[in-house]
Amino acid sequence: MKRAAARRPRLVTGPFLLVTLATFAYFTALGSLTPTLPLFVKGPLGGGAVAIGLSVGIFNLAAVPMRPFIGRIGDRRGRRILLVGGSAVIAVGILSYTAVTSVAQLVAVRFVTGFGEGLFYVGAASAINDMAPEDRRGEAISIFSLALYGGLIVGPVMGETVLGDGAFDRVWVAAAIAGALAVLLSLRVPDTRTHHPVGRSPFLHKSGLLPGLVLGGSIWGLASFNSFVPVYAVEIGLDGSRFVFATFAGVVLLIRSLGRRLPDRLGAERAASTALICNAAGLALIALWAVPAGLYVGAAIFAIGQALAFPALMTLAVRGAPATDRGVVIGTFTAFFDLFFGIGALTLGGVVAAIGLRANFLAAAGVVAAGLFVVPVTARRARSEPIAS
């Protein structure tokens, strides 16, 4: 037994650690904007709800058409150029907020920095998949996403602390420093590619399309949860939603850390199906059991699904695809994250206005559950392709 454990391929290496630390620094920079950017739009820039939604949503939508193209660059030029370029664009872009005096200027800058987000994320995810042993890929993605979540948890705390009574420029400078740290760490990442492309790869890779579509449904559910749980919590008698979100984050972090091997042990197909069932069940429970206990239990079940979905679906996307096309596959796959999150941010308000809060959660559960019909098809296609790693 000990000999088998000794032969197990190593996962956390120096380059792996560099990429995860750079990811943590990068998403700390982005996370610091979560609580402060809406206040900046509403306060100094004098914008309303539409301006806030546009300023937030344009960041994700800007990256959608560029992600597959970015993946091709990473496959041909290496991952480091994406890591360094993406974090540099974010650092400079956020620093430029100090000169912004109108909503239009902010939207323009956010559009450009959205391109930087596409650069960094595709580069980081591709590098992690390059370095991951085939039988530990789900675990590797879980650790990687743990760094991402860590940054999105630490960032808001940093942003609100630095903001104080309204020192927005200090927030932008602090976030830019975190982005610059990601640049410095990324500069030390070696070339992680195991194969180099010899011909032209497709702009959109078929291996990323169906897993990406399933991911999009899961992200639609997440956008609904994030946007309307704060309102729903008050409606059913709570004095706020902070502990609901703390429950959600705690479950996700627990599974992504202590349960990081689950996607590999269950297998990517079973893990993805389990994730969708938990996502749909959690949202349905929130809608149907309209009391505080129902919201907490539903949020915990929903969090289990969110913790498993991304590692399992990305594993399905890259499994069987040639290693030479890995960047394009990940670019195609992750474009659905931005697309559905951005569309969700811009449209879910209208959905709630039309059908109500509880019906909105049920509709989101239906969108997520539809992915259960797609996962088996995706898994069969992945198995039919020769594995090249």
CATH superfamily of 14-186: MFS general substrate transporter like domains (1.20.1250.20)
Distances (CA, A) of 37 to 135, 166, 348: 41, 11, 20
Instruction: Say what the pLDDT of residue 28 is.
Output: 93
| Topology annotation, domain 206-384 | Growth Hormone; Chain: A; (1.20.1250)
pLDDT digits (tens, 9 = 90+) for 346-379: 677 677 778 888 998 999 999 999 999 989 887 7
- The set of residues, in sequence order, having a beta carbon less than 8 Å from that of 40 and lying 6+ positions away, is 97, 106, 168
**Which three-class secondary structure state does DSSP give residue 290?**
coil
Closest-CA residue to 220 (of 298, 280, 159): 280
Q: Which residues of the chain have pLDDT under 70?
A: 1-8, 49, 195-204, 320, 345-346, 349, 382-389
Asked if the domains 14-186 and 206-384 are classified in one and the same CATH topology, the answer is yes
What is the C-alpha to C-alpha distance for residues 180 and 87, in angstroms, rounded to an integer?
7
| Position 12, amino acid | V
Closest CA to 153 of 235, 74, 49, 256: 256
CB atoms within 10 A of CB 354: 10
Question: How high is the pLDDT of residue 320?
Answer: 63
Residue type, 32: S
Q: Are 360 and 68 in contact (CB under 8 A)?
A: no
φ and ψ of 192, to 5 deg: -95, -5
| Number of Cβ atoms within 10 Å of the Cβ of 99 | 10
Q: Is 119 exposed, middle or buried (0-12, 13-18, 19+ CB in 10 A)?
A: buried
Q: What is the pTM of this model?
A: 0.77
Long-range contacts of range 283-288, CB-CB < 8 Å, 24 or more positions apart? 283/221, 283/224, 283/225, 283/361, 283/362, 283/364, 283/365, 283/368, 284/361, 284/362, 284/365, 286/225, 286/229, 286/232, 286/361, 287/358, 287/359, 287/360, 287/361, 287/362, 287/365, 288/358, 288/362
Per-residue confidence (pLDDT) for residue 262, from 0 to 100 = 86
φ/ψ (deg, to 5) at 297: -65, -45
Per-domain residue ranges for the chain? 14-186, 206-384
- pLDDT recorded at residue 386: 46
Q: What pLDDT is attached to residue 272?
A: 93
Question: Tell me, what's the pLDDT at 54?
Answer: 78
Q: Report d(CA 69, CA 327) in Å as an integer.
A: 9
Q: Could you give the residue ranges of the DSSP H alpha helices within 12-102?
A: 14-31, 37-42, 49-63, 67-77, 80-95
The per-residue pLDDT for 294 is 95
Q: At what angle do helices 80-95 and 103-131 cross, to 10 degrees?
A: 160
